[in-house]
Amino acid sequence: MNKGIWLYLAISVLSGTLLALQFQWGAVVLSLLILSLILRKMPRHVILLSLIFLSVSFTTALLHERNNHTGLSPGQDLQLYNVELTDIPTIDGDSFVSLAKLQDEKVLLRYSFQSEEEKNEFQKLKPGFSCRIKGALKEPKPSRNPNLFDYRSYLSHQGVFWILDAAEVEGCTDNSTWKHTLAHVRFQGMHKIEESFPASTVGVAQALIFGESRSIAEDTMKNFRELGVVHLLAISGLHVGLLFGALYYVLLRIGLAKEAVSWTGVGFLLCYIILTGASPSVIRASGMLIFLLLGKKANRRLTVVDSLSFVFCCIALYSPYSVFNPGFQLSFIVSFSLILSSAGIIQDPSSFRQLCKVTFVAQLSSLPVVLYHFFEFPLIGFITNLIYVPLFSVIILPLSILLFFLSALTDAAVVLRLYENLLGIIFECSSYLASLPFSTVVFGRPPFLFLLGYLSIIYGAFVGMEKRKTLKALTYLLLFVLFHQLITDYDPYGEIVFIDVGQGDSTLIRLPYNRGTYLIDAGGEVNFEKEKWEERTKHFSVGEDIIVPFLKSKGITVIDAMILTHGDMDHIGGAQAVMDELKVREILISPNSQEKDEIANIIELASSKSIQVREGMYLTSWQGDRNGLHIVSPQDAVYEGNNDSIVLYGRIGPLRWLFTGDLEEEGEREFADTFDLPVDVLKVGHHGSKTSTTEVFLEDTHPQVGIISAGESNRFGHPHPEVMERLRIRGLTLYNTAEDGAITYRFREKRGTFSAQLP
C-alpha cells in the first residue's frame, strides 16, 4: 500500500462516522475528502479504498447508534441488585463512585458513606468485587443549560444509561480473576502513592504514573487549564515516548537482542495502556509505536503519519463515539498537525526554536477544539508550555516514577519532602500566572460557521508557514479573531435566559448591540457542616459549575450590573464565583440586607475588587433605567427578607417584564396598591411558593406568560399546586426550569421567541 494513503482512509473513516452521528460535520469532512482526492489526482485504488472505508465506518457508526440502548428498567421503589465492580472506585470524602456491571450492562454505582468506619472498609473494594446493592436506578441528568456539559450524553457514549443510587451496600466478595490482574496492579499502585506520598502531591503523582487525575485539587486543575498546560497533568504521548525510549535503551544496554527488545516493547505498551486507564493520548501514542514496531518486523515500514492514521481508524471503527471526546480530538488534531509540520520544525538548527515551533503548532491547532469545549483560550499558553513542558518531562515525571519505586523499597521521606516543595513552588507560580489579567481570553462557543472559519484559516496559516509567509497568515487569523469578538459583542439579537440553577434564581439579561448585560441573582446552594472524613476534594458550586461556564459560553466577560434581589443563599450563593471570574461593574442589593452575614461578605469581597455596591429601591436611579428597566420595589429601607426583594419592571424587546425575586403576598399587595402596570411576562415569585402569586396580584398585572425557577424534585414542593392552578385558569403559557431546564427568550426589535433547553 502506498505511503501516505492511510491519511485519506482516516479522513474517510471520520467522514463516515460523522455522517452517521452528526450529519452537518460529516458533510463538511466528506466535502474536504472529495476535494482533496480530486486536487491531488489520487489513483483509482485510493478512491475505491476511501469509499470502502467511508461505507464501513458509516455502517459501523449507524449500527453502534441503533444498538446503544438499555435493557434495564427502573422499579418504583428500592430494589435488590447484584453488581460486579468493573473499575477502580473513586472515594472522595463521604462519596463512593464506581462503574459496575448489572445484568451484563454497565451502570454507574453511587453511594454515600454513613460513617468513617464504613468508608475505611470500602477502601479494599477493587475491580472484580461483587456486591449486593439495595438501591434505585436513575437516569443521568442531561444538560439543563445551553452549551454546558451533557452528563447523560457523556455516559451514554460509554454505554452507561443508568445511575444506581445505593441506599445499602452489603455482602461484597472478591470474585476477581486473571483478567483483573493489571487493574489490581493499578489499584495497588495508586494506594501505595496515597500511603507514601505527601497529601498535596498524591493527585499529581497518580496522574503522571497511572493516569488518574481525580485526586488533583480543583484549584490546581483550574490554574493549569487557564495556563494551557493541563495536558501535563495527564499521561501524554510525550510521556509514553520518554518511557518507551528509556525502556528500549535499558534493554539494549543489558544485552537483549533487538528482536527481543521490540517484542518486549510491544508487550509493555499493551500493558501500559491498561495500567494508565486507557486515555485517548496513551492509546494513540502506544498504538503508533506498536504499529511502527510491527511494521518494521513485517518489513513494511510505515510512516509516522500512516501509523497515526491507522490508530485513528482502529479507534473510530471500534468506538465511534470517541470522535466526540475532547481528549481524543485534541490528541489527534495536535499530533497530525505536528507530524505534517515536522519538516519545517526539524530543519531548524536551533533546539530552542524547534521547541518554540512545536509549542506554537500545538497551541494553534488546538484553538478550535479548546474554544468549542472550554469557551476561552490561554494567551499565556505559548510561554507556559515553553517552561512547563521541559520541566515536567525532564524533572517532574522522572522524579515521580523514581520516587514511586524508591518509596516501595526504602524510606524516601527526605526526597519526598523535596518533591513536595518543588510541586508547591510550581503550584504557587501557576496560581500567580493564572491570576494575571489577559492570561486567558473568553470567546464563547463559536457557532458552526465560525468554527469552519477557524479551521480554514488555521489550515491556511500552516500552509503560509510552509511557504515562509507566516506573518501574512497570522495576520488573517488575528483579523478573524477580532471579527469573531466584534460579532459576539455587538450581536443585534438580545436574550433573557432564566438559568437552571436548581432550587434558586439566576437570570441573564443581555441587550442587543452590547447596550447592557445584567445578572439578576446568582443561584446558590446550602452547605452543611461536615466532619473531616466527609469533606470532598471536588465541591459542586452553582456559581463555578453552572453560572460562570454558562456566561463564558456566551462570550460574556463583563457584567454591567449584578442585582442581588435579597439575602437568601439560593439567590446570592454564586455571586463570589461571578466576581472572581468576570468583571462586575456594579452590584445592587436590597436596602439594609447587609445585616445578613452573606451579603456583608459579598460587600467585603466587592470592596477588595473595587466593585461599587449600591442599595436599590423604588426611585433609585441605576444604569438599567436608560434601557427601560426600572426598580419598583422595595419602597422603604427596612429589610424584612423576601418581601423586600428588589423588583424590576420594564419593556425589553416587544414585551413588558416583571422580575419579582422572592416577593410574597404582602409585597405583592404593596406593589398592586402602588402601581397599575400591565405585564406580559411574569417571573413568578418565590419559585411558585404558596405564599406568592395571589389572585389579587394576578388580577392587577394580567400576565400572559409565567416563568418559574425551581429545582427538579425539590424538597419544598415548589411550585405549589394551588399556584399552578391559579396560573392555568388564567390561561398563562407556563415555563418551569424544574421541567424545562433553562428558558431563553431571544429577540430582535419587535419580534422574539421563547425556547426551553429540555424537550
pLDDT (tens digit, 9 = 90+) per residue, 107-130? 999 999 999 999 999 999 999 999
Look at residue 171 in the predicted model and tell me its pLDDT: 83
Helices 304-318 and 280-297 pack at an angle, to 10 degrees, of: 120
CATH of the domain at 506: 3.60.15.10
Question: Do 271 and 384 belong together in one domain?
Answer: yes
Please check whether residue 182 lies inside any domain of the structure: no
CATH of the domain at 93: 2.40.50.960
Final residue of a domain: which of 176, 206, 237?
Answer: 176
For the cut 80, the answer to whether the pLDDT of residue 4 exceeds it is no
Question: Do 356 and 468 belong together in one domain?
Answer: no
Question: Do 99 and 146 belong together in one domain?
Answer: yes
Please check whether residue 74 lies inside any domain of the structure: no
Look at residue 547 in the predicted model and tell me its pLDDT: 98
Question: Do 213 and 168 belong together in one domain?
Answer: no
Neighbouring residues of 3: CB distance < 8 A, sequence distance ≥ 6: 302, 303, 306
Final residue of a domain: which of 67, 91, 120?
Answer: 67
Neighbouring residues of 376: CB distance < 8 A, sequence distance ≥ 6: 226, 370, 440, 441, 442, 443, 552
Grid coordinates representing 664? 410574597
Question: Do 437 and 297 belong together in one domain?
Answer: yes
CA–CA gap between residue 632 and residue 667 (Å, rounded)? 11
Final residue of a domain: which of 134, 152, 176?
Answer: 176
The mean pLDDT value for 437-456 works out to 92
Question: Do 172 and 284 belong together in one domain?
Answer: no
Question: Do 438 and 485 belong together in one domain?
Answer: no
Q: What is the mean pLDDT of the chain?
A: 92
Look at residue 530 in the predicted model and tell me its pLDDT: 84
- Terminal Cα-to-Cα distance of the chain (whole angstroms): 49
Question: Do 15 and 130 belong together in one domain?
Answer: no
3-state SS string over 629-661? EEEEECCCCCCCHHHHCCEEEEEECCEEEEECC
Question: Do 150 and 275 belong together in one domain?
Answer: no
The mean pLDDT value for 170-182 works out to 87
Helices 5-21 and 23-39 pack at an angle, to 10 degrees, of: 150
Please check whether residue 184 lies inside any domain of the structure: no
For residue 95, name the pLDDT band (cuts at 50, 70, 90): very high
Question: Do 456 and 441 belong together in one domain?
Answer: no
Please check whether residue 533 lies inside any domain of the structure: no
Please check whether residue 727 lies inside any domain of the structure: yes
CA–CA gap between residue 634 and residue 645 (Å, rounded)? 6
Domains identified in the chain, total number: 5
Grid coordinates representing 578? 461571578
Look at residue 464 in the predicted model and tell me its pLDDT: 80
Question: Do 551 and 635 belong together in one domain?
Answer: yes
Compute φ and ψ for 539, nearest 5 degrees.
Answer: -105, 135
For residue 1, name the pLDDT band (cuts at 50, 70, 90): low
Grid coordinates representing 545? 459549575
Please check whether residue 143 lies inside any domain of the structure: yes
Amino acid at 11: I
Question: Do 246 and 328 belong together in one domain?
Answer: yes
Using alpha carbons, select from 376, 381, 269, 280 the residue that is nearest to residue 326: 280
Q: How many helices (H) and strands (E) does the chain have?
A: 29, 24
In tens, the pLDDT along 632-688 reads: 999 888 888 899 999 999 999 999 999 999 999 999 999 988 998 999 999 999 999
CA–CA gap between residue 551 and residue 239 (Å, rounded)? 35
Peptide bond into 719 cis (omega under 30): yes
Q: What does pTM read for this prediction? A: 0.92
Please check whether residue 461 lies inside any domain of the structure: yes
In tens, the pLDDT along 686-744 reads: 999 999 999 999 999 999 999 999 999 899 999 999 999 999 999 999 999 999 999 99
Please check whether residue 73 lies inside any domain of the structure: no
Give the residue numbers spanning the domain of 390: 189-445
